[in-house]
Structure 1
Amino acid sequence: MQWIKQLIGLLCLLIISSQLLYATPFIPKDDQQILETLPSDSPPARYLSSDDFSSSKNTNDPEQTSQLLERAYLQGDPRALGQARAQLDQTTDQSIETLMLRARALQSDHKFSEAKELLKQILSKDTANPDALLTLSSLLVVQGQFEEAMGYCKKLNDSSLSIYRAACEAQIQSMTGQITQAKQTLNNLASIAPQLDASTARWIYLIQADAALRSQDTSLADEVFSVMDAQTVPALMARADWLLSNEEYQEVIQLLKAHTDKDALLLRLIAAQIKLRDPKSKQNLALMEERIEVWRIRQENAHMREQATYAMLANQVNSALKLARDNWQQQRETADIEIYTKAAIQAGSQQDIEVIRQFIKDTQFEYPALERDLRLGKISDCLNCPTSGTQTSSKDKPL
């Protein structure tokens, strides 16, 4: 079942890849400038010269590419992600295994339509391919297309895939008005998770953590975080989100203060620092602004959620709303609906609030605290607080 281990690693990457955006590298001014000191456990350089690169253009090692994607996911290592993409760019191999990896790379670039087309191409050749079925379902979940996503879960008919089908269905059920039933299923899966491979267990725990956050289930959160790993980026993100939702800001700072090189974690750190009026929030806001400027120079559009979150933290309400609205056209996960709701309420945009309400009505998306905020027109965990020391510019005054 080695293939399923690799698949679950890629599924986890899909679930959080839109949140797991990496620190943008510094642009050097001369060839001798040191950009970064690599971690001691970094993989050896693949190419020592241009000749090495040229001679390897036609080689293909899907296992190595999969390992690089896993490293990028677990450690937030952009070098590994870049190497994986480069390997895929160099090969002309059209095997299903390589097509699956190409689909993952497309998704990481937020090219969702192209990724779905590739996955459906795989399924046209092999209608029961479990990799494609699970990955396509997860991609549809990211986009809030829950009914279609469930359809692909149910196509996992092989008895050997019962665990994966159950987790696939429970993730969707937890978001669409069946959270109590989903929690029971996930609890049953979690009870056997220690006997499963680490990637599958991590997938189950992350689904549980999201359900705990949306339902504010302290018992479930305590249970999940007692068994989930404590240092991978996805685990840190899940823990920080839970702590922020419960106003445990000092704990967030302790958890993330050594992880400012990861954009998604840096933004969570800034949110906690602002709540505690920590002067370091200004320094970190400036750091985040520098990274966003590089994205703009590169014309990258795969960071809209992070840009919207930054804009809220920096009191740029109109910018936050536009970015959150644009991001909503691509992604509709828990973090996406949160930032869109916060921006819409803060800007007083009834039109956007109605868009969110309609989504909740149509899908039965289950998030009681967020629904309460929409009804009351307030933000329970205000990111846009005057304690940041920043001022709203004239162009960013509420609508």
Structure 2
Amino acid sequence: MNLVWTTYCFGGFLFAVLLAGKASVAAEPYIPEDPQAVVARLPASLVRMAPEGRDGLQGPQRMARVRDASLAYVEEGLRSGDARYFGYALALLNPLLSDTRVPTELLLPLAMVQQARHEFGQALANLADLLQRRPGDLQAWLMRATVLQVTGDPLLAKNDCIKLAVRGSPLLGSTCLAGSAVMTADLPRAYRSLQRAMQSATEPDRTMLPWALRSLAGLAEASGEVDAALQALDQAQAIAPDDVRTLTARADLLLRMQQPAQVLQMIVADNPVPQLSLRREIAAKHLGREVDPVVLDQLREMHESAVRRGAELHQREAALLYLELLERPVEALRLAQENWRTQREFADAWLVLESARRAGREDGAADVLAWMRDLGNADRRLESLRQSLFREARS
């Protein structure tokens, strides 16, 4: 299996993954010799949504069709871990994009694709443009809050989440606020609010439940309630068994709970989503088993290839690779610090602190520690790690 790195983000969760494929983004495109060869199969529902030149749709109707189809592609990419869907979305959008003014209907899907490329500034600019034109667009408020949470400005994101709480459902507002509060002094209040919103969720909220449950799990673990966190992720997995976002969150939680055997049970060998394969190999290593040399070589080669191309989209996963499998904490710390410049969520803070601890470099965590102080950190996971870092540095 050949692997290709890519990264995407939405709904408060950022993942860097590798794709099984014939070529990397920077390589020559793979063109099969047989013109009838099947390169990929799309879900029938997405095929039906995609507009065609012969469908007769013009003007606003075609624009709306492209918007709906591109958003569906993005969601499928998030759910499955297959980032080719982001390319499909962009292929739909590009012919309709103007050099001077992006059509209003296309600003949201364009911003989502830009965020997938870590073009956060451009994504925020397009979202600001959309909100200027459509101040009541709840999806745009949610997307902007997500970008701000990912890039480390939860207090500013909170303002957008409050707008969602006022104009949208209680579950939508509470889940958005959960992403802004998880590492701030607002954590206890946000946890209680989301619990109440979950209890009163209605049928229209159903599509949001996996995201809300992942957010609830983060608040529960940050509050020291790891069993409640695992229960929330179990519920999310029961609703959407193949959602890579939930599987990744559950694997990470089980590893922090020192339950690697459950990770091996959850993630099958030869998993096609490399971020899951990485966690499976970490779990195997924790159990004293041999790391699969083929998977390890593929993961390492993909990181080195990305470095040669100047790509920096997967540094969170690369830092985890160097920390856990390659046992090179100094290099892991460097990667985690570089990643911290653009991504500032719990997983990113944890990587910096843990890499600094294992490298014996308290100074390497200075930026994260200052950020935690500024936010009034109430996350028990990070506080425990901070204390361990200080304790070991002084021993």
TM category (shorter chain) comes to 0.7 to 0.9
Q: In structure 2, give the amino acid aligned to 1:221.
A: A
The answer for the alignment partner of 2:276 in structure 1 is 265
1:216 aligns with 2:224: yes
The answer for the alignment partner of 2:86 in structure 1 is 81
The separation in 2 between residues aligned to 1:46 and 1:69, in whole angstroms, is 13
Q: In structure 1, give the amino acid aligned to 2:176.
A: C
The answer for the alignment partner of 1:391 in structure 2 is none
Label 1:293 to 1:160 Cα distance change in 2 as closer, same or farther (>3 A).
Answer: closer
Q: RMSD of the alignment, in Å?
A: 3.3
Equivalence map 1:213-362=2 (5 Å): 213-229=221-237, 230-258=241-269, 260-312=271-323, 313-362=325-374
Please state how far the C-alpha of 1:92 moved relative to its aligned partner: 2.1
8 Å CA contact 1:171, 1:182 repeated in 2: no
Q: In structure 2, give the amino acid aligned to 1:373.
A: L
Please state how far the C-alpha of 1:259 moved relative to its aligned partner: 6.0
The separation in 2 between residues aligned to 1:22 and 1:96, in whole angstroms, is 32
Please state how far the C-alpha of 1:125 moved relative to its aligned partner: 2.3
Label 1:155 to 1:253 Cα distance change in 2 as closer, same or farther (>3 A).
Answer: same
The separation in 1 between residues aligned to 2:312 and 2:177, in whole angstroms, is 31
More strand, by proportion? 2
SS in 1 for 2:18: coil
The separation in 2 between residues aligned to 1:379 and 1:305, in whole angstroms, is 25
Deviations 1:317-362 (CA, angstroms, capped at 9, x unpaired): 2321111111101011111111111111122222222222211110
TM-score between the two structures when normalised by the length of structure 2: 0.82
Equivalence map 1:152-231=2 (5 Å): 152-156=160-164, 158-193=166-201, 195-229=203-237, 230-231=241-242
1:110 aligns with 2:106: no
8 Å CA contact 2:131, 2:137 repeated in 1: yes
Report how many aligned residue pairs link the two structures: 365
Label 1:45 to 1:106 Cα distance change in 2 as closer, same or farther (>3 A).
Answer: same
8 Å CA contact 2:191, 2:219 repeated in 1: yes
Deviations 1:355-399 (CA, angstroms, capped at 9, x unpaired): 22211110123322332222222899xxxxxxxxxxxxxxxxxxx
Q: In structure 2, give the amino acid aligned to 1:238.
A: A
The separation in 2 between residues aligned to 1:326 and 1:222, in whole angstroms, is 30
Deviations 1:28-75 (CA, angstroms, capped at 9, x unpaired): 89844999974685765999xxx989x99x965111111111111111
Q: In structure 2, give the amino acid aligned to 1:357.
A: L
The separation in 2 between residues aligned to 1:198 and 1:12, in whole angstroms, is 21
TM-score between the two structures when normalised by the length of structure 1: 0.81
Label 1:46 to 1:295 Cα distance change in 2 as closer, same or farther (>3 A).
Answer: farther
1:132 aligns with 2:143: no
Deviations 1:13-37 (CA, angstroms, capped at 9, x unpaired): 3422x31523252338984499997
8 Å CA contact 1:342, 1:379 repeated in 2: no
8 Å CA contact 1:26, 1:35 repeated in 2: no
Of 103, 122, 129, which residue of structure 2 is paired with 1:121? 129
The answer for the alignment partner of 1:69 in structure 2 is 74
1:375 aligns with 2:387: yes
The separation in 1 between residues aligned to 2:134 and 2:371, in whole angstroms, is 33
Deviations 1:69-90 (CA, angstroms, capped at 9, x unpaired): 1111111122222101222222
The separation in 2 between residues aligned to 1:29 and 1:128, in whole angstroms, is 43
Please state how far the C-alpha of 1:108 moved relative to its aligned partner: 0.5
Deviations 1:188-245 (CA, angstroms, capped at 9, x unpaired): 1222346234431122111112123333313422431342133211110121111111
8 Å CA contact 2:333, 2:359 repeated in 1: yes
The separation in 1 between residues aligned to 2:252 and 2:332, in whole angstroms, is 19
Give the unaligned 5+ runs of structure 2.
Answer: 1-7, 24-28
The separation in 2 between residues aligned to 1:379 and 1:314, in whole angstroms, is 25
8 Å CA contact 1:62, 1:97 repeated in 2: yes
